[in-house]
Structure 1
Amino acid sequence: MRFQYAFQKIVDLKGNEKTQAEWMLSSAIGELQAEEKSLGELLHNRERMANELQEAAEQRAPVSKIREFQMYVEHLEQCIVRKHSDVQQANVNVQMKKKQLSHKMLDEKVWLKARDKAKSSFQQSMLLREQSELDEMATVRFAMKAR
């Protein structure tokens, strides 16, 4: 007789939910990395433009050119502030996905443990049944020999 767990579909569902939560976390981490990369590029651009502004000021460039560089640096500053917010939001999303994954893993573990207990109980009852059958066979043999 083979063990069949009555709630196997639930165990499978919990496993699928955990896998889906892993994918969601992976996606959230990818988004965070993309936001951080974008922030790094903005910081690099701001530094480059600040250097160009400094060079233009040292070379006595026209005021309109210096003002143009200055306005672009200010624009980059605003973009950096917004990008910091985006990175923070992406980080919060990653933390939330981690919590969800942790919950799904715990849920799956509970159901796997219940299945393992049921299987152990089933195996124990099968061993008892086999032992009972062997005892009965031994009793019958003994009774046959005693006649």
Structure 2
Amino acid sequence: MRFNYKFQHILTLKEREKEETLTLYDESVRQFENAAKKLYDLLKKKEVLEQFQSDKLETGYSIQKIRHNQLFINNLEETIDFWQKKVLATRNEMRYWEGKLLESNIEVKKYEKMKDKSYEYFQQWINTNENNQMDEIAAIQFQHRKGN
């Protein structure tokens, strides 16, 4: 006799949902990492540029070049502000998918646990059935021997 789990279709569906959620989570992690790397690169660039400007101010720097540098730093700060918001948004999205993945894992584990319990019950039922059949066979053999 073969074990047939009555909720197998649901378990398969939940596992598929979990895999899809994992894919979306991995994609959100990748987007977060890319945005964070871009932000880090921009902050590093700003730091280097400010250090360069500071060094040049000590040694002498034309007003035109100072204005040009300051304009560039202001534009860089706007870009940094954009990427900070982008990092925050991608972090929130990553956390959202992380929560969904956790929920999916819990759902799959519930159905797997139910399947395990159902299988244990099935095994007990098979063992009880086999024992009963063995008892019947032994009783029949005993009756045949007694009758002879």
Worse-matched range after superposition: 101-110 or 49-58: 49-58
* Structure 2, unaligned runs of 5 or more: none
- Cα RMSD, aligned residues only: 1.3
Letter of the 1:10 partner, please give it: I
Cα separation, 1, equivalents of 2:54 and 2:137? 100
State the partner residue of 2:118.
118
* Structure 1, unaligned runs of 5 or more: none
Worse-matched range after superposition: 127-136 or 54-63: 54-63
1:57-105 CA-partner distances (Å, limit 9, x unpaired): 3343321111010011111112112211111111111111111001000
State the partner residue of 1:29.
29
Letter of the 2:86 partner, please give it: D
Letter of the 1:144 partner, please give it: H
State the partner residue of 1:46.
46
Percentage identity across paired residues of the two chains: 26
Runs of 4+ with >6 A deviation: none
* Counterpart check, 1:75 vs 2:75: yes
Deviation at 1:128, TM superposition (A): 1.2
Letter of the 1:73 partner, please give it: I
Cα separation, 2, equivalents of 1:68 and 1:59? 17
State the partner residue of 2:5.
5
What secondary structure, in the 3-state scheme, does the structure 2 residue paired with 1:138 have?
A: helix
Q: TM-score, normalised by structure 2?
A: 0.92
Cα separation, 2, equivalents of 1:82 and 1:16? 36
State the partner residue of 2:146.
146
